[in-house]
Amino acid sequence: MSKFWVITKEVYKKNIKSFGFIVMVLAPILLVGFIAGVGYYFSQQDQTSEPTSVAILSNDPELQALFASEEWNFAVVEEIESEQDARSALENEQIEAYMIIAAEGHTLQSEIVHTNALSSQIPMIAEVLSNYQTMMRANEMDMSPEEVQTLTEPVEIDESVVSVYEGAMTEEDLSGRLIQEWSAYAISIAIVVFIMTYSGIIAEEVANEKGTRIMEIILSSASATNHFFGKLAGVALVMLTQLTIYAVVGTGTYLYFRDTAFVSGLIGELDVVSVLRELMGYTLIFFVAGVLMYVILAAFFGSLATKMEDVNKAVTPIVFIALAGFYSGMFAFASPENSMAVALSYVPLFTPFVMPFRIASGTVGTGAVWLSIIVTFGFTGVISVISLMFYRSNVLVYSDTNLIGTIRRSWSIMQSNKRARNLRA
């Protein structure tokens, strides 16, 4: 066991001190910080932006006063009183827009000309003019404001979203369901990123020692089993360190900035505790199962590589399977009750991507969820044993054949070793 921990410690120390690990940890933090900084900058720009210079031409003074209020952020140029003057001022960039609003009887006719300065406010302007027109017609009919309000009062709709499973109907919490879906989406992306990152690391760990022929020396003092699981444990600790850093940085950043107007406006009514609770539930289990399963496969495929140059080719099948799982998850996101999505949610290599979306949609029961978890971890155990068996056979095999040829040769060696053990017995 001491040799196992020696290997684990060396793998951990070597990776944690490497420049690649520092870049790998800092890159997402810097990316998120950059995106947040850009968002904060533009939000501040919107708040401190100069008011739009607008000329309002109308035969109704009340309409001119309506758009002169501060909520519009308009700088009304009152000196302009004709369309010709407004057009000339716009061409000379003295104003950014002008509105012509004519009241004919109880109907408003409006024309808005602008340099894309009012695009975001056109729907609101249209709504205000419609309400004003309604009030004009109501006054003509001697209707009180209260009566007008009853005419325009929207219909109250009490919405309930339910899920039906095995004949039982359960009311869903929309906010909770949305949190679950986006948590599943985030976990799917994280699984792909971590698989691609740590599959390469574990494969390089094995292939590097094999390519430099130092593996013979290592295996003379430690068993292949200790070496195999020591490498896996070391890489798992590196991954745990990265996750811990993200958790500490994320928590500290949130606690420091949570009371700022930018963060409050960004998260709105989002319950951060609920989000974390969802992430710490089934989604975290599937994250651990998914990454662990693919990293074990990467260790197996890495042992098939004879040189460092062959590592990328060796882990290519894992990358393609992971991408197929990711897109299967996106398919389940859109159609969680599709028969294909249901079937893939029980296929271990696809379960970590698909099942979280089925859980979020409420289309699967607790028993089925735990069944998929048991199957996934059971499959992980099986491939661990199979990978170890092949690892013992091919870790000292140096072959220039393709991947399939190397596996066949490893299988032959494994069968030969088995027959030799039976003869000795």
Q: Does residue 126 lie within any of the structural domains?
A: yes
Q: Does residue 121 lie within any of the structural domains?
A: yes
Give the whole-angstrom CA distance, residue 90 versus residue 54.
Answer: 9
Same domain, 209 and 332: yes
Give the whole-angstrom CA distance, residue 73 versus residue 125.
Answer: 13
Q: Are 292 and 380 in contact (CB under 8 A)?
A: yes
Same domain, 275 and 129: no
Least trusted range by pLDDT, from 44-53, 269-278, 281-290: 269-278
- At 42, the pLDDT band (50, 70, 90 cuts) reads low
Same domain, 110 and 249: no
Give the whole-angstrom CA distance, residue 398 versus residue 76.
Answer: 81
What are 215-225's pLDDT values in tens digits? Answer: 556 666 677 77
Q: 3-state class of 116 per DSSP?
A: coil
Would the pLDDT of 380 be above 80? Answer: yes
Least trusted range by pLDDT, from 7-21, 169-183, 287-301, 378-392: 169-183
- At 261, the pLDDT band (50, 70, 90 cuts) reads low
Which carries the bigger pLDDT value, residue 38 or residue 369? 369
Structure tokens at 56: 């309002």
Which carries the bigger pLDDT value, residue 100 or residue 153? 100
Q: Report the mean per-residue pLDDT for the chain.
A: 76
Q: Does residue 154 lie within any of the structural domains?
A: no
What are 262-274's pLDDT values in tens digits? Answer: 566 555 555 656 6
Q: Does residue 15 lie within any of the structural domains?
A: no
Query: Cβ of 358: how many Cβ atoms within 10 Å?
Result: 24
Which carries the bigger pLDDT value, residue 59 or residue 178? 59
Angle at which helix 174-211 crosses helix 311-334, to 10 degrees, equals 170
Same domain, 133 and 185: no
Instruction: Note the helical H segments in 153-223.
Output: 174-211, 215-221
Same domain, 124 and 196: no
Same domain, 247 and 109: no
Q: Which residue segment(s) compose the domain that 78 sits in?
A: 54-147
Q: Does residue 168 lie within any of the structural domains?
A: no
Same domain, 140 and 184: no
- At 177, the pLDDT band (50, 70, 90 cuts) reads low
Q: Does residue 287 lie within any of the structural domains?
A: yes
Last residue in a domain, options 130, 147, 164: 147
pTM: 0.66
Would the pLDDT of 325 be above 60? Answer: yes
Q: Does residue 2 lie within any of the structural domains?
A: no
CA atoms within 13 A on the CB side of 29: 18
Same domain, 190 and 143: no
Which carries the bigger pLDDT value, residue 139 or residue 1? 139
Q: How many domains does the chain have?
A: 2
Would the pLDDT of 174 be above 70? Answer: no
Same domain, 195 and 289: yes
Which carries the bigger pLDDT value, residue 343 or residue 178? 343
Same domain, 111 and 185: no
Same domain, 205 and 134: no
Same domain, 404 and 364: yes
Q: Does residue 415 lie within any of the structural domains?
A: yes
- At 278, the pLDDT band (50, 70, 90 cuts) reads low
Would the pLDDT of 120 be above 60? Answer: yes
pLDDT score of 74 = 79
